[in-house]
Amino acid sequence: MATTEHDHIDAVRDRLGTAFPQLPRPTIDETITSALAQFDGRSIRDFVPLLVERKAREMLRSKDDSQKV
C-alpha cells in the first residue's frame, strides 16, 4: 500500500508534537492546517509534506518564542 500525503502529514503532526511538547496539540494542528492551506491547488504534491513541516516548524518556533516573553 502506498503512503499518501495524508499519511505524511500525520507523521509531520507527530514529529512536531514531539518537537514542541510545551505547545497544545490544537495549536500544532491549526498551524499544520494553515501551512497546508498555502499549497492548496498546487498540481505537484510530492514535496508538500516536507514544505508544510518546514513552514509549520517555523511558525511554531515563533509561537513558542512569544510565549516565553
pTM value?
0.87
pLDDT tens, residue by residue, 1-26:
889 999 999 999 999 999 999 999 99
**What are the start-end ranges of the H helices in the chain?**
5-19, 25-37, 48-68
pLDDT tens, residue by residue, 51-63:
999 999 999 999 8
Interatomic CA distance for residues 2 and 39, integer angstroms: 21
List all residues 6 or more positions away from 35 whose beta carbon is below 8 Å from its beta carbon. Answer: 51, 52, 55, 56, 59
